[in-house]
Chains A and B, each alone.
Chain A
Amino acid sequence: MKEKIIILIIALVVLISVVVGILILFQAPAIGISGKVALIRVEGTITSSKGIFGGTSSEEIVKQIKQAREDFLIKAILIRINSPGGSAAASQEIYMEIMKTRNSGKPVVVSMGDAATSGGYYIASAANRIVAAPGTLTGSIGVIWVHPVLSRFFEEWGIQFEIVKSGPYKDIGAVWRNFTEEEWQLAKEAINDTYDQFVEDVAKGRNISVEKIKQIADGRILTGRQAKELGLVDALGNIEDATKLAADLAGIEKPVVVELKKRTLFEALFGTMGEGISRGIVKGIIQLYLQKQIAL
């Protein structure tokens, strides 16, 4: 009789735990079926590959956006931009990936930090919505080619260059001489073409006419508030407001923000040591596994 009572108690405790556990799991924010918002950061100069001085690599951002788009648990993407711009091609790569995501139906919201100018704004314009602080520096829609000329420096140091080239323009942009009239014209044409691409993409992303964009696309810097008045930004607010907007667009009540980024082995294993040895180590192992997938 005593044994039967013990068995009954154990069975009840286990059964109730399983039921309660399942109920918790399906509402638990971290791994439950409630929606997640992926946070992707674009910081510093945007280039195709990451440089030794930091910045953002379009290769990695494109991978992260793709991963977030294909993960059915991620319901929306929040891109935090704090960048003065960068290479046109790298910005376009990210722009295209955001557009793909937007067209797939998964909302993308951009939150602007200190600055999202030039290439930074190029990227932002692809998002469904843009949120900026009133004092954020943005705009600067335009293209620039800086050509340093060091001919006098080389003269003073007695350095000469022997040039053998297959065509007249093969050394266009060389630092040892100025542009010729024709070269300047060619460079201007390339700049204008890139500018047209920039303006057309911004117009497409923001659903504003090319003519209207061109009126302000003279390289001018705008504050977040000015940008909102001109329709380049949708709302004024901080990253929390942007998160809420992303959640609203995705129909999530209580969003969980998950940051898609890589950590070093040390950070992954010991970064959360304060939260408990077990937590830190297990978390690290899981992150290592998942990060490997991003890296490959």
Chain B
Amino acid sequence: MGFIERFFGVLINPSITFKEINENPKLLEAFGAILIVGLCAGVGGALNLSLIAQEIAHPLISPIVLIVSAPLGYFLTWVVISCILYASAKVFGGTGAFEASLILLSFAFVPAIFLAPLGVVAYAIGAFGAFIYTLGSFVISIWGMILAIFAIKEHHKLSTPRAVMAVFIPVLVIAIIIFVLAFIAIIYLEKFLTYPISF
């Protein structure tokens, strides 16, 4: 099975494809997968921003910066999530190695390639497209979580319920932490905004 078949195989037949990847994991392929995913997600995210950023001008949201920064962000996310899920899998009795976990989990990000067509569709729809994009992103995230369960189950030789717990619990904890941090950040930012500069 070549890289292309592995890359798209996780979307069509995840069980067989992850089994095949687990038998012969290749780190270079993992980097390739994240690069492609990051590029697609960058294009989708930038298109979505173009729908919501009509009144904003800033170098940070130029398309070049967005498209280049997305793969970098995905690399970082991939490594961090792999570390967390590896530790979680070990807690639930996993037996796999870190490098192979890292490689298998990179393919769990593949559904994010659909962010590019989703971004184009959202852009075509217009203002409401941003909502569609957010909804689609949520579905893609769930899809990615399911693929991560396949990856953990296959490599760490866990039962399906244990693999689900190994992925779901840390994701839930991260979601709660992000929610709390976002809440604190908004309250913190509000202090700066109370200075009256509105016209």
A interface residues, Cβ below 8 angstroms from B: 3, 6-7, 10-11, 13-14, 17-18, 20-22, 24-26, 28, 30-33, 36, 38, 41, 43, 50, 56-57, 60, 71-74, 256, 258-265, 267-268, 275-279, 282-283, 285-292, 294-296
The complex places the Cα of A262 from the Cα of B192 at a distance, in Å, of 10
Q: Which residues in A have their C-beta under 8 angstroms from that of B61? A: 31, 286
Q: Which residues in B have their C-beta under 8 angstroms from that of A60? A: 197
Known contacts A258-B57, A265-B190, A267-B198; decide if A18 and B52 are in contact (CB<8 Å).
no
Q: In this assembly, does B148 line the interface, its C-beta being within 8 Å of a C-beta of chain A?
A: no
Nearest CB to that of B65 among chain A residues? A31
Interface of B is mostly: helix
Q: In this assembly, does B46 line the interface, its C-beta being within 8 Å of a C-beta of chain A?
A: yes
Chain B residues 132 to 150 lying within 8 A of chain A, measured CB to CB, are 133-135
Distance (Å) between the CB of A18 and the closest chain B CB? Answer: 5
Q: Which residues in A have their C-beta under 8 angstroms from that of B50? A: 24-25, 28, 30-32
Q: Which residues in A have their C-beta under 8 angstroms from that of B66? A: 31
The complex places the Cα of A34 from the Cα of B130 at a distance, in Å, of 22
B interface residues, Cβ below 8 angstroms from A: 4-5, 8-9, 11-13, 39-40, 43-44, 46-47, 49-64, 66-67, 113-114, 116-117, 119-120, 123, 127-128, 130-131, 133-135, 186, 189-190, 192-199
Q: Which residues in A have their C-beta under 8 angstroms from that of B130? A: 276, 278-279, 282
Would you mind naming 12 contact pairs between A and B with Cβ atoms under 8 Å apart? A17-B117, A22-B63, A30-B51, A30-B53, A41-B199, A50-B196, A56-B199, A72-B59, A283-B53, A283-B56, A289-B189, A295-B197
The complex places the Cα of A289 from the Cα of B51 at a distance, in Å, of 18
Interface of A is mostly: helix
Which of B49, B51, B113, B196 contacts A14 (CB under 8 A)?
B113
